[in-house]
Structure 1
Amino acid sequence: MDKPQRQGVALIPDPASDPARQENHNIDYSFVEEVIQDGRKETLPAVDEDFPEAVRKLVEEEESKRFYVFPPFGNQRELPNEVRESLKGEFRGADLSTIATLSVLKSLGKEDKAAFTLPSLFFSSQQAGRYRKQSLEVAHPELIIRPPDSPFVDSIVQVQTIIYSGSSSVETPITRFFSIPEVDEVTAEEAIDDFEQLLRQGGGETTHGFVHRNQLNPSETWTYESLNPELKREIEEVEKLGEIKPLEELFELKIGRPPTNYVGSEEEVELDSEAVSETQDGVPVIEGRDVRADGSLSHDDTRRQVRRSKVEKSGLLKLQDGDICIRRVSGSKTGVVAGEVEQHMTPLVSSHNVVVLRPKAGTTQEDRKVVLQYLRSKTAARYLRAKELGAGHIRLTVGRLRELPVPLADEDLREALGSLLEAADLFDTWKEEALDAAQSLFDHPTAEDGKMHVLTTGRRSRQRQHAAERQDDLSYRIQTQFPHPVAYRWRTVAAAKPDLEGYLHVLECAEVLTCYLALVALTMAQDAGKEIGYLEEMGRRVADGRGTNLGDWIAILREVRDSKSFRKLPDDTPFYEVMHFVPTGRGADEALSSLKNRRDKQAHGKGPRGDSVRPAFEDAKDSLLVLLDAAEFLSEYPLRYVDRTQADTIQDCLTYWYRDIMGDHPLVPVEEDTTAPKTLEAGSLYLVDRSGSLHLLRPLLDRRRCPVCGTWSTFYLDSYVEDGDACLLKSMEHSHTTQDEEIYEAFQQIGLLPNKT
C-alpha cells in the first residue's frame, strides 16, 4: 500500500552552518509556519563539500511533491577554502542560495513543484543569467511574486518568490507575475481576489499582476517591473519621438579611476583651495556628488583635484566638451542624475563613481540633447530601476546603460531642438550684454558717457524683456502667430465687451478655428492617401442645399482622432498634430463640446439673455482659450499665398513670390523664395509644413476679394445653390458670402461634394 502524500515541506538552512548567520541579517524563519500550514519544516544539509549532493538526496528521498525552500543567503567567500574548492566546477562564483536552488530543481519530478524565496540578484544580475538558464533546462518558472517589503529579512536584502514546476518541456510556456500591494493600498480580500483572477487567466493583466507568454529569456531581468507590459508601453511611447537605439550605438561609455589609483601623494590629490589659487595648477575631479540633481556640474567647487602636470601621465579620464556625466548611484526621488560638460569648464577629469558618455562620430548635438533629457526622465528611471528589482536607488552599471533604449530625434524634433539651442545662445548673449553694460558704468571716460551707455543698453534690454513677457501671453501669440482667419477672429473677441455681440464673436471664432483645423485634417488626409468616411454624408447634405456647420468640422476632427487608419500614420506625417488635437489638448474635447452646445442653443433662440449674458461670455471665452491653446501648433504651419511664380529651366528651379497670411493684420509684405521645380499655382493658398514643403489648399480654402466689403478674405465651402448651379463660399473673417459657378468640380474631385446627377 502506498504511503500517504504529505501536503508540503519547507526546507530552511541550518542556522549553525549558515554563513549568512541569522543574527546578522535578522532572518526570522517563523513566517514559514504560515506558508506551510499543513506541512512540516526540514533543515537543509550543512554547507560543506557535499552540500549540493546532500540537497539533491534530501529532495529525492522526500515523499512530498511540494516544496518551499528558503535557502542560505551567504556567498562562497564566507566558506572555508576546502569547501570553495569543491564548488569551483559546476557552481563557480554562485552564492549559496543559487547552489541550493539548482540542486533542488535538478531533483524534482515532473509533477513536483518548488517555491523559492531568493535574493534579488538571482532575478536581476547579469552574472546570474547563466544560472537562470540552467534552471530553465530542468524546470519551468510558473509564478514570480514580488513582496511589498521583506518582513523576514532586513531592508538590505531584496527578495522575490519564484515557483517552478518540475517539467521544463511546457507546450505553451507562460509565467505569471504578481506584485503584492502595500497594506494601505488595498484590503487583503481585494489582493487575494486579484491574485486568484491572475491564476485563472492565460494572458493579459490584472490590477496587480500580468501573464508573460513565452519562455523567459535568461539573459533578461526576471522582475515584475522589468517585464510589466506598462513599461513596454512607455518605451513604445518613446519610439514615437523617433528611431530607438541602444545607448552604446550613440556613445562610448567610460569610467574614471578610483581615487586610490590617482598618481601622486595625498597632498597632490587633494589640494586645498589656497594652494590651488596660488599655483593655478589644480585640475578638478568630477565625482558623483559634483553632478547635481538640477543637471549642472559643480566643476568650480570640487572636493578633489589633481595637479595639471600629472594628468597626462596618470591615464585619468579627461573630460571633453559634450561629454555627459552620470552619477553611478542615484536616489529614489531624483532618478538618473546627469549633466553635460561645456567647453568653459575644462580641463576636468572624472572619478570612478561617474559614468561618462562620449558622443560617437555621427551623434549630433540634437541627439545628445534628446538623450540627456531622456536620461533625466521618469521613463528612463523606471526602466533602470526595473532592471534592479525596482529598488529605490538606481545603481548604474556600464552593461545596463549600454543596452538602455534611447530615442533619436526625428527631423521635426531636430529642427525644434536646434531652434531652442539657438534661442538659448541668443539669450546668453543678451544676458552678457546687459551685465557688461551694468558693470561698465564707471569704465567710460566721463560719468555722462557711462550713464548714457547704461541708459541706451538698458532701453534695449527693457524692450527685449517687454517682448518676452508679451510672448508669454497666449492672446498676443494668437494675434501675431496664428493663421490670419483665426487671428483676426480672435482680435474681435479680445476687443469685445461682455455683451451679446461679444458672446457671438466668441462662438464665431470657435467655429472658424474648428473649420480651419478640419480643413488642415482634410489636407493631411489627401496627402497621406487616407479617406474620411464622414465626407460622403456631409457632401450629400451640402449638395441638397444645407450649409456646413460646426458639427461637420467636429465630426471630421473626431474621425481623424479615432480612426485606426489614421493612427497608423507616422509622426513625421505633415500636420499630424491635428490627429491629437482633440484627445490631448488639455481639455480641448470638453471645451469643443461646450462651445458646440452653446452654438446650437443660440441658433435655436435659446441663448443667454439679460444678466446671464456676461457670465456666458466669460465662460465661453475661457473654453475658446482652451481650444486655442491646444491648437497653437497651427503657428508652426504658415498659411502662404503665392502671388506669382517664375520657372528657370537653366537653373532647374522655380522662384516664387508669396505672402504669409499670419497674424491679425491683413497687410503683409511680399517675400521671395526658390524651390525645386514643381507646380505652384499663382493666386492659390498653401500650407507649409516643417520641412518647408507646400501643400495646396485649393479648393478647401481660397483667397479672394470679398464682393461685399472689398477686402482680401479667406473663403470656404458653405453650401450649394441649386438655382444658380453654384457653390456658396463664406468668408472666415467676416462671414460674407459669394457664389462661384466653376468650383463645384474641384470640390467633387476631392470628395467634398458628390457627382452631379
Structure 2
Amino acid sequence: MVETTRLSSLSEQLVAIGFERLAQGSPRVLSSARFAQRNGLIFQAPEAWQSVDELPWDQLAARSGELLANGPLLLAPTWERRTESDGRCAVGSDSFYAEVMISCRPPSPDAAMAVLLPASAWVSDRPWAAEMRTKVAEHWDTLLVLYGAGMLTQMHVSMESAVVFLRPRAQTRPVLKVFQVPCPRLDDAAVVKDFERLLARQGGRGEYGYVLREPPGPDQGLYFDRFDPHILQRREDLAGFGAVNALGDLFTFHRAPFSDAVLKRGKQLTSSKDPGGVRMVRPRDICRDGTIAPPSEETLWATIPEDQQLAAGDLVIRRLIAPFIVPPHGFFTAEVGEDDLPAAASDQVVVLRPIKPLSRPQARLITLFLRTPLALTLSGPRLATTTMEALSALPVPQPDEALTKALDEMTAAKQQFKRWEQEAESVIESVFLEKTAARARARVIDSGRALRLRVEAASLLDDLGHSVRTRFPYPVAYRWRETEARISAGDAQAAYAAILDTAEQLLCYVAQLVLALTHAQNITLGAVTAIRDKLAGGRSGPGFGDWANVLNEAATSRQLNNLPEAHPLNDIRTLLAHADAEKARQALSERRNDQAHLRRVDPIELPHAIDVAFADLTRLVERARFLADLPLIEVTDVRWDTFARTACVEYRELAGDHPVVPTRTMTSPSNDLEKGSLYLRDTDGALHLLRPFLIGRDCPTCRTWSTFHADRVPKGAVVFKSLEHGHTLEDASPDTRHLLGQIGLV
C-alpha cells in the first residue's frame, strides 16, 4: 500500500506565502519516488500546485534545472540514506539529499527554488552538513529558512523540518530571514500574520522570526536560537552577574559505562544491605528542584570501583532531554552532597567534576543557571541527548563579590530558618514526653518564647516603617520617625508639615549622593547651575524642585549609562525613573509649594490630605529601598599599615533613627580615607567620599550630631543646613568656600 506525506495545512500556507513574496508565483513540485525511510512513503504536493512525476533520487538535480527554467520550484528530495552491509542506515554525507543539493545548479539569474529538508541539514555543525551548505552557497544565496516541528503528516510530531528558499548567487548578499513555527501552536492566524510581517522586514525581530543583515557563513549551523537577537542579548547579559566562563573551563566531563545491562552482565548488581554496595544515580533520580531523590525500592545498587564513584561537589545532569520542544525548565541538574554518597552515575547521566574547588555561591549559581530554559537554549540545537561538546562550550555566569555575599547570606538564612523549624518541631513533639502536664506546659511556653520573638522580629522586616527606622541612613530614618510620631499624636498641621519635610529631605539626601558620585566620575549635571545660583543668592537655598531636577537628570543622563554594574548610581537613578514615584513626587512638590505660598489645606480636608500625602511619601520611600544597602559611614579613625598596604578603619554606620551607634572596625586597601568625613559604602564594600556635599557635625543649636548640606553662600561665609531638623551651621573658613568652588557649587 502506497502511503503519502504532505505539508500540514499551516506549513502549506506559509510556504505558499513564501513563494508569492519571494518568487511572485506558485511553484511546481518535484519529489523523489521514495521520500522517507519507509517503504512506499512518497511526498504529495498540495492540490493547487502542479506536481511532476516522482523520480529516482539521482535524477532530481538535473530535472530541477530543467523545471527552474520555466518558473519557481519546490524540491522535496528523498530523506533516505544509504544502508551499510548490515542493513543499518548510514549517516551524514551518505544522505542522498546532500548529494542532490550539491548537484543543483540555477539555470538563470532569476531562478527561484525552495527545498524541503530535515532541519539537521541546515542546523548541524558536523562536517558533512557544513560541506553541503558550503557547496550550495557557491551557487545559491539563502533568502529564507522556515523551521517547524510537525510540518509533515505521517511523520512523528517532533520531527523538525526546514523549507529553505534559494536564489542564484548575486554579488551582493541579500538579508537572511529565519522563522520558526511555534510548537505547540496556539493561533495559526497569528503565526501567518507574523510570517507576512517578517517577509516585509529588512531588519529586526518579530514574534517568531528575525532578519540577519549579515548572514553567517555556511560552515555555521543556522539553528534558530543561535542568532536570535533576543537570545544573543540574554547571553551578553549574563556578564551582569559578574563574569562568564565556558562550562568546560570549570569542569571535566565524564559519562560512566554503567548501563543496567552492563552491570547485570558483569555481575556487579548487589543490594543496599551489602557493605560494598554503591547507589546508582539514574536520570529519574535527578529531580527538577536540583536535588537527588532518596533511594527507593527501584534504586539499583552495585559494586563500583572507588575511583569511578561520585564525589561531593560533582554536578550530575540527565543526558536525555526532550528534543525540539522548549520545556519550561532547563537541564535536570543536581549537586552531589555528602549525604548522597557513596554513589555512582549510570551511563545516561553526565558527571561534571570541578577542575578547581568552587565556592558555594559559584556552585549554587551554576546549578541554578543550568536548570533554566536559557541554559538549554544556549547549549545548541535541540537534540535528543546532551552532548559533551555542547556542555563544554556552554557559557555560565560567575558571581561577583556583591552577588557572592548575597548568596552566602541567603544560604545562611535558609540554614538558620531550617534550624529554627527543627527546634520548633522538637518543642511541639515534646508536649507529651514530660512526666507531668504542668512540666510539659512550662517547657512549651518557655522554649517557645524565643521562637515567638524571632518570628515577631522577622515579621517586622516586612513592615516598611520598621525597615526605614532601623536600616535607612540616619537623616532619612530620623525624618520618617518624626513623621510617624506626628501622625500618631493627632496634631494634623504638624503631621502634614512633617510629611512634606520628610519628602523634601529624602530627595535632598539622595540628590547629595548623586552630586558627590557624579563629581567623582568627573561628570557635571546641568541641574548644578540652578543650585549654584540659589546658593549664591544668599537668602533662600535650593529646595524640593532643585533636588528633583538632579534626580530626574540622573535618571535620563546618557553620561551615566556606561557605569560599572555595581556602581551605586545605577540603583540611585531608579528612584524617580518609575512613573508612580515621579507622580508621587510631583504631587508632594505641589503640596509643598502651596504650603510655602500660604495656600494651606482647609482644616476639614486636612485628615484626607494627610492620608493621600503619606501614601505618596510611602511610594517614594518604597522606591528608595536601595538606601538600606548603601550605608552612610562616618570614619572616626584611620591607621595605615605601609607593609600590609591596608588601612585599619574605625567607623560609625549611621543606620536607623538615632545618631548614637557603636564604633566598628574594618580594613580598606585605600590610604586616602579622611578621618571625620562621611562616606557611602556600596554593595562591593567600596567607600565613596561625600564631603563637602554632606558633612557630619554636632549641631550648634540642639547639640546633636547631625548631617548638613550647603544651603546658602553669602559673602564671607558658607551656611550649612541640617537634614534632620533644619538648624543651620555657619562656616566662615575661606577654605570651605574655596572647596565649594572646586566642586562647582560656587
1:195 aligns with 2:198: yes
Q: 1:418 to 1:6 in 2, by over 3 A?
A: closer
SS in 1 for 2:117: strand
**C-alpha displacement at 1:361, in angstroms?**
0.9
Letter in 2 for 1:515: C
**Once the two structures are superposed, what CA deviation does each residue of 1:365-395 show, in whole Å capped at 9, x if it has no partner?**
32222212222334334435x733xx9xx85
- Given the superposition, is the C-alpha separation of residues 651 and 286 from structure 1 closer, same or farther in structure 2, using an over 3 Å criterion? closer
**Is contact 1:119-1:159 (8 Å) kept?**
yes
Among 476, 482, 485, the residue aligned to 2:466: 476
Taking the aligned partners of 2:334 and 2:125, their CA distance within structure 1 comes to 27
Cα 1:709/1:607, change in 2 over 3 Å: same
Could you tell me which amino acid in structure 1 is paired with residue 176 of structure 2?
Answer: T
Whole-angstrom distance in 1 between the partners of 2:226 and 2:78:
26
Return the offset for 1:620. Answer: 3.5
Corresponding residue to 2:328 among 324, 333, 339: 333
SS in 2 for 1:239: helix
Cα shift readout 1:245-302 (whole Å, capped 9, x = no counterpart): 222112223334353344246996485xxxx3x5466433222222222222203337
> What is aligned with 1:68?
74
Cross-structure match for 2:95: 95
Query: What is the alpha-carbon distance in structure 2 between the residues aligned to residue 188 and residue 420 of structure 1?
Result: 43
Change beyond 3 A, Cα 1:745–1:691: same
How many Å apart are 1:700 and its aligned residue? 0.8
For 2:198, what is the secondary structure of its paired residue?
helix
Percent identical: 26
Equivalence map 1:155-304=2 (5 Å)? 155-167=157-169, 170-172=171-173, 174-179=175-180, 184=187, 190-191=193-194, 194-198=197-201, 201=202, 203-206=203-206, 208-218=208-218, 220-257=220-257, 259-264=259-264, 269=269, 271=271, 276=272, 278-279=273-274, 282-301=277-296, 303-304=298-299
Amino acid at match of 2:472: F
TM-score (norm 2): 0.84
Match of 1:42 in 2: 52
TM-score, normalised by the number of residues in structure 1 = 0.83
1:521 aligns with 2:514: yes
1:667 aligns with 2:680: no
- Please list, as runs of the form range in 1=range in 2, the aligned pairs for 1:102-501 lying within 5 A after superposition: 102-104=102-104, 106=105, 110-127=109-126, 128-147=129-148, 150=151, 152=153, 154=155, 155-167=157-169, 170-172=171-173, 174-179=175-180, 184=187, 190-191=193-194, 194-198=197-201, 201=202, 203-206=203-206, 208-218=208-218, 220-257=220-257, 259-264=259-264, 269=269, 271=271, 276=272, 278-279=273-274, 282-301=277-296, 303-307=298-302, 310-312=303-305, 317-327=308-318, 328-329=320-321, 332-361=327-356, 363-384=358-379, 387-388=381-382, 395-435=385-425, 456-495=446-485, 496-497=487-488, 499-501=492-494
Deviations 1:684-733 (A, max 9, x none): 2122233444322111111122233332211112333x3x5433322211
Query: Structure 1 674/407 Cα, relative in aligned 2: closer, same or farther at 3 Å?
Result: closer
Distance 2:691 2:25 in 1: 83
Q: Which residue of 1 aligns with 2:722?
A: 731
Given the superposition, is the C-alpha separation of residues 6 and 456 from structure 1 closer, same or farther in structure 2, using an over 3 Å criterion?
closer
Assess, with a 3 A threshold, how the Cα gap between structure 1 residues 541 and 208 changes in structure 2: closer, same or farther: farther
Q: How many angstroms apart in 2 are the aligned matches of 1:129 and 1:587?
A: 53
1:626 equivalenced with 2:622 (yes/no): no
Judge conservation of contact 2:30–2:60 (CA < 8 Å) in 1. Answer: no
Indicate whether 1:567 and 2:561 are aligned: yes
Amino acid corresponding to residue 162 of structure 2 in structure 1:
Q
Q: Displacement of 1:576 after TM fit? A: 3.6
Structure 2 alignment gaps of length 5 or more: 1-23
- The answer (yes or no) to whether the contact 2:567–2:682 under 8 Å persists in 1 is no
Q: Distance in 1 between matches of 2:344 and 2:51?
A: 57
Taking the aligned partners of 2:436 and 2:309, their CA distance within structure 1 comes to 47
Moved more, 155-164 or 256-265: 256-265
DSSP 3-state at the match of 1:344:
helix
For structure 1, the residue ranges without an aligned partner over 5 or more in a row are: none
- Kept in 1, the 8 Å contact 2:327–2:373? The answer is no
Residues 279 and 635 (structure 1), Cα distance of their counterparts in 2 relative to 1, 3 Å cut: same
Q: CA deviation at 1:67?
A: 2.1
Whole-Å separation in 1 of the counterparts to 2:321 and 2:621: 44
1:695 corresponds to which of 688, 692, 696:
688
Tell me if structure 2 keeps the 8 A contact 1:270–1:303. Answer: no
Residues 610 and 645 of structure 1: CA distance in aligned 2, closer, same or farther (over 3 Å): same
| Other-structure match for 2:7 | none
Q: Does the 8 Å CA contact 2:581/2:620 hold for their aligned counterparts? A: yes
Instruction: State the alpha-carbon separation in 2 of the partners of residues 82 and 458 from structure 1.
Output: 74
CA distance in 1, matches of 2:188, 2:595: 49
Contact 1:11 1:42 in 2 (8 A): yes
Contact 1:643–1:658 (Cα < 8 Å) also in 2: yes
SS in 2 for 1:408: strand
Q: Which secondary structure state, in structure 2, belongs to the residue aligned with residue 640 of structure 1?
A: strand
Q: Is the 8 A contact 1:29 1:152 kept in 2?
A: no
Residue 659 of structure 1, CA deviation: 1.8
Equivalent residues in 2 for 1:650-665 (5 A)?
Answer: 654-665=647-658
Give distance in 1, aligned partners of 2:107 and 2:270: 59
Letter in structure 1 aligned against 2:725? H
Name the SS of the counterpart of 1:407 in structure 2.
strand
Distance in structure 1 (CA, Å) of the matches to 2:580 and 2:235: 25
User: Partner of 1:19: helix, strand, or coil?
Assistant: coil
Residues 262 and 525 of structure 1: is their aligned pair in 2 closer, same or farther, counting only changes over 3 Å?
Answer: farther
Instruction: Report the Cα distance in structure 2 between the residues aligned to 1:703 and 1:656, rounded to whole angstroms.
Output: 17
Take 2:447 and 2:262, find their aligned partners in 1: how far apart are those partners? 49
CA positional deviation for 1:566: 1.3
Letter in structure 2 aligned against 1:141: T
Deviation at 1:312, TM superposition (A): 1.0
Determine if the alignment matches structure 1 residue 578 to structure 2 residue 597.
no
Q: Deviation per CA, 1:48-88: give whole Å up to 9, x if none.
A: xxx2xx222222333335321123333444x887997xxx8
Residue by residue, what CA displacement relative to the aligned partner does 1:340-380 show, whole Å, maximum 9, x if unpaired?
22111211222233333222215433222221222233433
Letter in 1 for 2:166: Y
2:60 maps to which residue?
55
Residue 235 of structure 1 deviates from its aligned partner by 1.7
- Indicate how the Cα distance of structure 1 residues 648 and 213 shifts in structure 2: closer, same or farther if over 3 A, else same: closer
Change (3 A) 1:161 1:567: same
8 Å contact from structure 2 (residues 252, 355) kept in 1: yes
Alignment partner of 1:679 out of 672, 684, 695: 672
Q: CA–CA distance in 1 between the matches of 2:26 and 2:427? A: 86
Aligned partner of 1:29 in structure 2 is 44
Question: Is residue 144–residue 163 contact of structure 1 (8 Å, CA) maintained in 2?
Answer: yes
Question: Structure 1 residues 323 and 176 mapped into 2: Cα distance closer, same or farther (>3 Å)?
Answer: same
Measured at CA, do residues 135 and 555 of structure 1 come closer, stay the same or move farther in structure 2, by a change above 3 Å?
farther
Cα separation, 1, equivalents of 2:637 and 2:535: 33
Q: Secondary structure at the match of 2:263?
A: coil
Q: CA deviation at 1:227?
A: 1.5
> Whole-Å Cα distance in 1 between the matches of residues 659 and 510 of structure 2?
20
Task: Report the alpha carbon displacement of residue 648 of structure 1 after superposing the two structures with TM.
Answer: 6.3
- The one-letter code of the counterpart of 2:44 is Y
In structure 2, give the amino acid aligned to 1:367.
Q
2:143, 2:177 within 8 Å by CA — same for their partners in 1? yes
Label 1:690 to 1:81 Cα distance change in 2 as closer, same or farther (>3 A): closer
